[in-house]
Amino acid sequence: MWDDAFPSFLIGLREGLEAGLIVSILVATLVRAEARSRLPQVWTGVLAAIAVAMSFGAVLTFTAASMPQTAQEAFGGVLSVIAVAFVTAMVFWMRRSARNLSSELKQKVTGALAMGSGMLILTSFLAVGREGLETALFLWTTAQAAGESAGPLTGAAIGLLLAAGLCWGLYRRVLKINLTKFFTATGVVLIVIAAGVLGYGLRDLQEGGVLPGKTAYAVDLAGSIDAGSWYSTLIQGVFNLMPTMTWLQVVAYVAYLAVVMTLFVRGVRVTAPKAKPERKPETVTQRSAGASGEGSAARKPAARRRPVWVVPAAVVAVPAVVAGLFVALGRPKPAGDQTVAVSETDCGKGFTAPEPGRQTFQMHNTGRQASEVYLVDPSTNAVYGEIEGLAPGTTRDLVATIAGGTYAWRCVPASGKAVTSKAVTVTGGGAAKPVAPVSEQDLAAPLKSYKAYVGKGLDTLAGQTRALQHDIEGGHLDKARTDWLTAHRTYASLGAAYGTFEDFDKKIDGRADGLPGGERDKDFSGFLRLEYGLWHGRSAKELTGPARQLSTDVAGLGKAFPSQDFDPGDLPLRAHEILENTLQFELTGDTDEGSGTNLATADANLAGTRELLTVLKPLLTDRAPKVLPTVDTDIDRVQKLLDAQHDGGHWTPVEKLSDADRRRLDGATGQLLEDLAPIPDLLEIRKSA
């Protein structure tokens, strides 16, 4: 957690020390001016500044949470850039003002004493409020970058507590710190951190569609750096430098660091010799002015005193209440205030035109059948949101982003015809992108192309398994091992995931798991049975039967495949499931029966996934043009990692991979699976009748 905590710790320490020094100077000035009775006014202003800063952070958090994902990314990116600007200005301001900060504040306090309690509260509020708002904004951006980690808040809390302790020590004169050197050193580190925050913010703006170049990578080290290692995590958490960065991120990072650091260091060198000790006569002036103010206050007629807690409570409560109202009024009103009824005869009862923005609809099935529920554009049938299998008598939330357009509910019961509600029109609210519906007819052409690819592959496989059979029958076991790998890679490239080939897959590539006799069981057959025998010293005579059976089963699959029932809706699933199997079985070594060629099988599975994406490309390009470029980048990354693990026909066994190589391969495959995950939803066949 320290990697996420350090930037917030530093900003908490530095900003806390700045604010603490300001408060210390205000308090010391009043004490020296013998105006201790005015100290509550200083603390009231400080409390007000803290309340405003915390309320500001709450508004940022809840405002972002109510936005759609892309809007959240754009919002976070904009605030990250603003935070960088504030932090940069703060670093330069403190470098210039550190030497004169005390005298300037004392002059302001002297003037405030003469003008009344309200002005003293305002002086302390403004002096501390600037630091508080900067801290809230910067902490919010670092917390966004850290995701769900508690590191940023923990680091900030530790930094603020340490700053409070240092300020107390400085005030009581039990500590001596060279503040000029402190603020210079922390300024250098903050500039480096701010450069990373700038890069992170620009990446968010790219993800949110505000800036171009989302897939234009200048740096892609994901294949050679373990993103989960301690050093990688530390660099990412502290400096916001990622293994994969776009050209915009890299150029902005380098340019910011070069320009700002140069100006900061040059300014330190130029101004350092001019430092002078603080002049003491100011204290005398302030003391007399403070005394004058105190005496003037004493001559005023006595007024009815209000309770001392009223003003501090008010200055804390008012910002909190305002922030709460802002959040409450700004949050999208749930469309589910009136439940939307669903049944096989009446769909969308109670549905009225919703407000634009992120909305939650409460869908209640009042019918007797389970039903699919879709929020659609009735003119195009495009889907904005859906619930699958809403059971009778149950209520579930459906969340959708509403923009200008026409909306209706479509209910498709388990049996019977689809029912569509009356349409409503929404005006304003920007744009929301629905998912264009996919029909069986849309998937017909990709399915035909994919079946042709598999059919051709099965013809090739039949010839390869016959050659393998002849090798074993002739006693050429060395050649059989080579031909076994060739044939097995061909089969793995055909996408045999989750029962694609029905019962033939278990016969051809079934595992010994669960069989009473394990690898020696009479029902253990296929490629893995031959692999076990070829790499465990079994004789040609023992392997002849399994080799003949494999050839027979492959030939049977070749004949049966054209007439096998292949649901068009399963085709998009294969784009994810093939590599899901790979991660579960091949990359764990679970299916290795002695050859050590699991990575060769994974390579063939990757080739099968490429083929699937090729036939699905026209549908994906129309519906989600950004998905395929991202997936292609992921596939290339996995391919490079696999290519690095074989030399000619020899592949590194999974168990002999180094820990770093294994983590990289697992991580890259996991990222690929994550980016493939939307494809089944994008190309799902939605019921319409």
At residue 632, the pLDDT reads: 92
At residue 303, the pLDDT reads: 45
Residue 646 has pLDDT above 50, yes or no: yes
Residue 164 has pLDDT above 90, yes or no: no
Residue 304 has pLDDT above 70, yes or no: no
At residue 259, the pLDDT reads: 92
Neighbouring-strand partners of residue 425: 406
At residue 651, the pLDDT reads: 94
Q: Report the C-alpha gap between 51 and 170 in whole angstroms.
A: 25
Residue 64 has pLDDT above 70, yes or no: no
Residue 599 has pLDDT above 90, yes or no: yes
Distance of alpha carbon 97 from the chain centroid: 39
Buried b (16+ CB within 10 A) or exposed e, 614-623: ebbeebbeeb
Q: Report the C-alpha gap between 436 and 683 in whole angstroms.
A: 9
At residue 508, the pLDDT reads: 93
- C-beta atoms surrounding 260 within 10 Å: 20
**55-69, 220-234, 395-409, 647-661: the lowest-pLDDT one:** 220-234
Entry pTM: 0.54
At residue 286, the pLDDT reads: 38
Residues 170/24, Cβ–Cβ less than 8 Å: yes
Residue 263 has pLDDT above 80, yes or no: yes
Mean pLDDT of the chain: 79
Residue 121 has pLDDT above 80, yes or no: no
At residue 290, the pLDDT reads: 42
**What are the start-end ranges of the H helices in 149-246?**
151-171, 179-207, 230-239
At residue 105, the pLDDT reads: 57
Q: Answer with the residue of higher pLDDT: 628 or 18.
A: 628
Q: Which of 557, 433, 546 is nearest to 496 (CA)?
A: 557
Residue 35 has pLDDT above 80, yes or no: no
At residue 336, the pLDDT reads: 41
Please report, rounded to a whole number, the percentage of residues in the chain having pLDDT higher than 90: 27
* Cβ neighbours for 325, distance < 8 A, ≥ 6 positions apart: none
Neighbouring-strand partners of residue 374: 386, 410
Residues 82/194, Cβ–Cβ less than 8 Å: no
Torsional sign, CA 91, 93, 96, 101: negative
Most confident of 358-372, 593-607, 666-680: 593-607
At residue 238, the pLDDT reads: 60
At residue 586, the pLDDT reads: 93
Distance of alpha carbon 172 from the chain centroid: 46
Neighbouring-strand partners of residue 435: 383
- C-beta atoms surrounding 433 within 10 Å: 13
Residue 5 has pLDDT above 70, yes or no: no
At 444-467, the pLDDT tens digits run 999 999 999 999 999 999 999 999
Residue 346 has pLDDT above 80, yes or no: yes
Torsional sign, CA 454, 457, 463, 467: negative
Residues 347/411, Cβ–Cβ less than 8 Å: yes
**103-112, 127-136, 415-424, 641-650: the lowest-pLDDT one:** 103-112
pLDDT category, 588, cuts 50, 70, 90?
A: very high
pLDDT category, 300, cuts 50, 70, 90?
A: very low
Residue 177 has pLDDT above 80, yes or no: no
At residue 297, the pLDDT reads: 41
For 379-404, what is the mean pLDDT?
Answer: 87
**309-318, 337-346, 559-568: the lowest-pLDDT one:** 309-318
Residues 354/399, Cβ–Cβ less than 8 Å: no
At residue 61, the pLDDT reads: 67
Residue 636 has pLDDT above 90, yes or no: yes
Cα torsion 197, 199, 202, 204 to 10°: value is: -70
At residue 302, the pLDDT reads: 44
Q: Compute the C-alpha angle 371/375/381, nearest 5°.
A: 100
**100-114, 115-129, 187-201: the lowest-pLDDT one:** 100-114
At residue 268, the pLDDT reads: 63
β-strands 340-342, 244-246 pairing: unpaired
Neighbouring-strand partners of residue 362: 397
* Cβ neighbours for 232, distance < 8 A, ≥ 6 positions apart: 225, 226, 243
At 475-511, the pLDDT tens digits run 999 999 999 999 999 999 998 666 678 789 889 998 8
Residue 431 has pLDDT above 70, yes or no: no
- C-beta atoms surrounding 647 within 10 Å: 8
Contacts of the segment 311-316: beta carbons below 8 A, 24+ positions apart: 311/44, 311/121, 312/40, 312/43, 312/44, 312/47, 315/44, 315/45, 315/47, 315/48, 315/51, 315/121, 315/125, 316/47, 316/48, 316/50, 316/51
Residue 65 has pLDDT above 90, yes or no: no
Q: Please report the DSSP string for 402-427 in residue order.
A: E-SEEEEEEEEESSS--EEPPPEEE-
Residues 576/679, Cβ–Cβ less than 8 Å: yes
Residue 279 has pLDDT above 50, yes or no: no
Residues 320/334, Cβ–Cβ less than 8 Å: no
Residue 629 has pLDDT above 50, yes or no: yes
Residues 671/634, Cβ–Cβ less than 8 Å: yes
Q: How many helices (H) and strands (E) does the chain have?
A: 21, 12
At residue 317, the pLDDT reads: 65
Residue 558 has pLDDT above 50, yes or no: yes
- C-beta atoms surrounding 61 within 10 Å: 13
At residue 291, the pLDDT reads: 39
At residue 637, the pLDDT reads: 93
At residue 122, the pLDDT reads: 75
Q: Report the C-alpha gap between 22 and 28 in whole angstroms.
A: 10
**81-90, 303-312, 387-396: the lowest-pLDDT one:** 303-312
At residue 212, the pLDDT reads: 85
